[in-house]
Amino acid sequence: MMICNDITAHEQMAQSPSLLTDSLAIEYNNIDHVHSELFILIAQCCGLTEEMPPDTTLEIMRDLIDQFRRHFAQEEQIIYRSKYKRTSDHVVQHWKFIQRTSAMIQAYQRGNRGVITEFRDYVDEWLSDHSSVDDREFDEFLQGHVLS
């Protein structure tokens, strides 16, 4: 009897957009702290200079972008499930970031040491803009707030 009640509750939850959005909002809050962790990693990247050993620099750049990839994968799962109206815009922004930073890493590998400054500034600026505008907009959608 208890099991039947639980199944009904789950079915209702799956059918109700507001309840589903609420549960995704809770999930999203749980991963939101990752943005702070990414900013900490970027702060470490601020110490990168053209003079640093290339192997170390390359490893730091790759590790940072891997963290971004993991974060995007988590965030996008929630975005897809939420039926967010700006899903494709948001996902394309993540994709463009990966394309751009991968190209910079390749340029560095080919010997363009100067690209490190561009990489550092781009990553920092991109995350500041994206998290304060696009991720915030999605967060407000999940919380059910009207955007101002």
Among 120, 135, 141, 142, binds Fe ion (CB under 5 A): 135
Q: Residue 136: left if φ>0, alpha if ψ -120 to 50, beta else—which one?
A: alpha
Site for Fe ion in 29-88 (CB under 5 A): 75
Q: Is 47 helix (H, G, I), strand (E, B) or coil?
A: coil
Residue 22 one-letter amino acid: D
**In the complex, which residue's CB is closest to Fe ion?**
135
- Min CB(24)–Fe ion separation in Å: 14
State the nearest-atom distance from the C-beta of 72 to Fe ion, in Å: 7
Closer of 50 and 89 to Fe ion (Cβ): 89
Nearer to Fe ion, 86 or 113 (CB): 86
Nearer to Fe ion, 64 or 116 (CB): 64
Q: How far is CA 23 from the centre of its chain?
A: 19
Cα–Cα distance, 22 to 69 (Å, whole number):
25
Q: Supply 141's token pair.
A: 């959608």
What does the binding site for Fe ion look like in residue numbers (CB under 5 A)?
75, 135
